[in-house]
Chain A
Amino acid sequence: MSNLSQLLQFYKGTLIPAPIAIGVQAVNKNSFHVNHFDCHCSSDDCAETSYDCHCCSDDCAETSYDCHCCSDDCAD
């Protein structure tokens, strides 16, 4: 058994599948979480735009939080 499989045996959460959470995003531009945060909105819409962030789009208005991308493209 691989080391990863062994490690995953320690998982203590449920096995109930959940909808993917979008998360919240700070307004700080130019800063990105180096470890797990990919600094982009998670919505699939993103895939269509050249810079992979929908924070400047109207979709944001629909969400309860305000989603901001940190990419320079988005600055305005």
Chain B
Amino acid sequence: MNFSTAWLTTNRTCNNHCTWCYAKNTLGNSQIMDFENAKIAIKELKKRGVKRIILIGGEPTIYPNFIQIIRYIRSNNMLVSIATNGRMFKDMRFATEVLSAGITTIDISLKAFSEEEYKKNTNSYGLEEMLRGYSNLKQLGFKPSISYVLVNNREETIDNLINFLLEKDISQISLQFVKPILNLSGCELPMDLTEMSSLVEIIYNKMTNKKINYSIGIPFPLCLIDSNILTHLIRERRIFNCCHVPKGSGINIDENFKIIPCNHFAEFPFSDTPIDFSNEKALDNLYNTEIVQHFKNLSKCYPAKKCQTCNLWSQCGGGCFTYWLSLDPNDYIR
């Protein structure tokens, strides 16, 4: 098995506790990724073609070996990105150290537009720290990307977001939509797919109007979006929706070295046995198991029969697999 990108969950611990977090039931887990074993895993990933490693969590910046792991990945000639809430970069010394370790990209996720709202969404006050972190990185000549997860369909959220971006002089935003928190007793999804698609139209109109440089990750089928708007969005290259899951181009490793189908499956590893990366055959053995094959087969199916004849298929791919664990695609796909 070869991959182009690997996600490493260095730790599940986090200085925030976001209400919509797909990993919220694991955040109490204090287990962190053993650094010596992480190095062995990184070497093996390198051999398997990985070009970029994305450190994620939990909050990767609070991983005790954070600087060392960045250096180690870079010394193996791979790119290293992080998904972070950005709060730790409030400390200029920390920011300087991370940059000099050679980090490639930093994606800071914005959680709210006011300190009160931040507290409501994450159970901590972190907005000021995040903004200071962003500004420190910029002062050091590094430009982090900013992302924002849309968890409600209120038009007001888009207005607040636009005002916030203009006020804080943030020149680019990558928007994403909420995915369900996977659970055997029912997957929780705060917003329906049709609400998401209506919001896309609002975003398009408002952001175009205010000349915001935005992109939107569309995890639902493209046929839900008004076709005129969709044409504009594609032409202007505003949307992205590629997923590594059906392609098999990515690998997600949790803090215990278990392999998960993607980050959203935080509590659903392919196997409860951690991968011993010093055994060259361990990954291939796992990928040959019935459950991995079963998952891969399912994730490569048309969600609805109608998709078979749809000329958008190659650009669409039928939406995020996680939705179809609780929603029936026939109720949505046009």
CB-based nearest A residue for B77: A50
- C-alpha gap A18/B298 in the complex (Å): 10
Number of A-B contacts (CB under 8 A): 206
Residue from the list A23, A25, A47, A70 in contact with B4, Cβ < 8 A: A47
- C-alpha gap A14/B56 in the complex (Å): 32
- C-alpha gap A13/B217 in the complex (Å): 21
A61 interfacial by beta-carbon distance below 8 Å: no
Q: Which residues of A contact B176 (CB under 8 A)?
A: 33, 35
A2-B291, A47-B49 are known contacts. Are A21 and B318 too (CB-CB below 8 A)? yes
Residue from the list B271, B302, B329 in contact with A12, Cβ < 8 A: B329
CB-based nearest A residue for B267: A3
- C-alpha gap A59/B179 in the complex (Å): 32
Give the contact-size bracket for chain B: 35 or more
CB-based nearest A residue for B6: A38
- C-alpha gap A66/B240 in the complex (Å): 11
- Main SS at interface, chain A: loop
- C-alpha gap A10/B182 in the complex (Å): 11
Interface centre among A28, A30, A35 (most CB of B within 10 A): A35
A-B contact pairs, 22 of them (CB 8 A): A4-B261, A4-B265, A7-B265, A11-B321, A12-B327, A13-B298, A13-B329, A14-B303, A15-B301, A17-B301, A20-B247, A23-B315, A24-B242, A24-B315, A27-B238, A28-B172, A31-B105, A31-B107, A31-B215, A35-B22, A36-B245, A71-B52
Nearest 6 CB-CB pairings of A with B: A21-B317, A23-B242, A26-B215, A34-B83, A31-B145, A27-B237
Interface residues of B (CB under 8 A from A): 2, 4-5, 22, 49, 51-52, 54, 56, 79, 81, 83, 104-105, 107, 109, 143, 145, 147, 172, 174, 176, 179, 182, 184, 187, 213, 215-217, 219, 234, 236-247, 249-250, 261-265, 267-272, 291, 294-295, 297-298, 300-305, 307-308, 313-318, 320-321, 324-329
